[in-house]
Amino acid sequence: MKKKFILPLLLSGLVWFSACESNNEETGTAKMQVRMTDAPGDYAEVNIDIKSVQVHKEAEGDDSGWVTLDQINPGVYNLLDFANGKDTLLASSTLPAGKISQLRLVLGDNNTLKLKNGEVKSLKTPSGQTSGVKLQINADLESDVTYVLLLDFDAAKSVVARGNGQYNLKPVIRTITQAVAGGIKGSVTPAEYKPGIYVISAANDTIGGFADDAGKFLIKGVPSGTYTVKFYTEGGAHDKTVENVSVSQNQVKDLGTVVLE
């Protein structure tokens, strides 16, 4: 977003870690990330071939309610790489606010198990490649809030010996949905000032953007905490600072109308 004026030099050392989204875009959406972690298993590797991640938007489910997350990192993942608190991003997307009832992992054919002696075994997934592995979620997504859905694989329980030297993959997965960031919204008057807006944390991490032509602004992806919100206008004559703005991780804080005198 380009503006004519130059923001004060005192902000030149601050770090941008997100962007502002004006209220003139489509409202009623939430951001969701799907991440994967694992409980340790007694194997050298447990490799899972993930092709797609989908969520279901209806409480009762037919296939018409499934939505494929559009920012996907497909590939073969060794579950044991993500033990002891580590995780990895599988997919993310902007979704309509509302209830999601299920998640589905669509698996490919390249699922393998590496034993401690170095032997590699194929992992058979009876239903994973076709209908997908379905998980119950039942989470409510609030508008303009950012969520993380964590898939906690249990590698030891997910690998089932068949008794003939072969192994099946029957994923045992615990799901955890958590809001991780809220936002700040409001409007400025007079709208024609179109100020630059900075949301500054105590550590000087900064999110920034501009109000739209109607004076409205919406800054998403703000972690819980207390912030200083600064409004900068051309020439600085109508600058304004709002102190001690508290944001929770599942809330979009409404500043109401900010008057730029």
CATH number reported for the structural domain that contains residue 205 in this entry: 2.60.40.10
Q: Does 3 reside within a domain?
A: no
Q: Does 152 reside within a domain?
A: yes
Q: Does 206 reside within a domain?
A: yes
Place of tokens 């993310």: 92
Domain that holds residue 59: 29-180
Residues 34 and 137 in one domain: yes
Residues 127 and 195 in one domain: no
Q: Does 168 reside within a domain?
A: yes
* pLDDT of amino acid 162: 85
Which of 153, 180, 207 terminates a domain? The answer is 180
CB 177 within 8 A of CB 136: no
Which of 180, 215, 242 terminates a domain? The answer is 180
Distance, CA of 127 to CA of 169 (rounded, Å): 10
Q: Whole-prediction pTM value?
A: 0.74
* pLDDT of amino acid 233: 93
Q: What per-residue string of b and e applies to 99-129 under the rule 16 or more CB within 10 Å gives b?
A: ebbbbbbbbbeebbbbeeeeeebebbbeebb
Residues 85 and 146 in one domain: yes
List 257's β-bridge partners, or say none: 187
Q: Does 83 reside within a domain?
A: yes
Which of 160, 180, 200 terminates a domain? The answer is 180
> For residue 24, how many other CB atoms are within 10 A of its CB?
13
Residues 193 and 233 in one domain: yes
Residues 64 and 159 in one domain: yes
Residues 59 and 170 in one domain: yes
Residues 158 and 210 in one domain: no
Residues 108 and 224 in one domain: no
Give me the tens of pLDDT residue by residue for the chain, a chain 261 residues long.
333 333 333 333 333 333 344 443 445 899 999 999 987 678 899 999 999 999 998 644 455 688 999 999 999 999 988 877 788 999 999 999 999 999 999 998 899 999 989 999 999 876 545 578 889 988 899 999 999 999 998 888 889 988 888 899 888 898 988 888 889 999 999 999 989 999 999 998 898 878 999 999 998 889 899 999 999 998 899 999 999 999 988 889 999 999 998
* pLDDT of amino acid 132: 81
* pLDDT of amino acid 94: 93
Residues 173 and 189 in one domain: no
Residues 136 and 249 in one domain: no
* pLDDT of amino acid 201: 93
* pLDDT of amino acid 6: 34
Q: Does 2 reside within a domain?
A: no
Q: Does 4 reside within a domain?
A: no
- CATH code for the domain of 54: 2.60.40
Residues 196 and 173 in one domain: no
* pLDDT of amino acid 149: 92
* pLDDT of amino acid 155: 84
Q: Does 209 reside within a domain?
A: yes
Q: Is 234 helix (H, G, I), strand (E, B) or coil?
A: helix
Residues 208 and 139 in one domain: no
Place of tokens 């997919």: 91
Counting the structural domains of the chain, the total is 2
